[in-house]
Amino acid sequence: MSVDETTVRRVAKLARIKVEDHEVPKLKGELDAILAFVEELKELDVDGVEPMTSVAPMRLRLREDMVNDGEDAEKVLMNAPAREGDFYVVPKVVE
C-alpha cells in the first residue's frame, strides 16, 4: 500500500503536525515504509498465540487491600503545599 501527498497532508493535519511542502516527500516515504511493515506483519500466522500487554511478562506482587488512615498524620501531610491542622487545604472548586 502506498500513500499520496494528499494523504500525508491529511494525516499531518489530523495529528496536528505542521508540515512544510518540502517535508511531504520524506514523510510519504516514511509512511509507505510503515505501511509495508504492517502488511508484512499481516502475513504472520498467530493462531494459538496469546495476546500480550507488554513485551516482558508481568508478575505483579499482589497484596491484600487494607483501609487505614496512614497512621502518622505528620508523615502523610509532610509534603502538603498547604494544610490546616491534620487536613490538606485545597482550592474551592464548587460554588
What is the largest distance, in Å, between two alpha-carbon atoms of the chain? 65
pLDDT tens readout for residues 25-38: 999 999 999 999 99
- The three cell numbers locating residue 3: 500513500
| Structural domains of the chain, count | 1
Q: Is residue 36 part of a domain?
A: yes
Q: What is the pLDDT of residues 59-93, one digit of tens each?
A: 777 888 888 777 788 888 888 889 898 888 988 88
Does residue 53 sit within a domain?
no
26 belongs to a structural domain: yes
Task: Say if 60 falls within a structural domain.
Answer: no
Q: What is the pTM of this model?
A: 0.50
Q: Which domain holds residue 37?
A: 5-42
Do 64 and 71 meet the contact criterion of CB atoms below 8 Å apart?
no
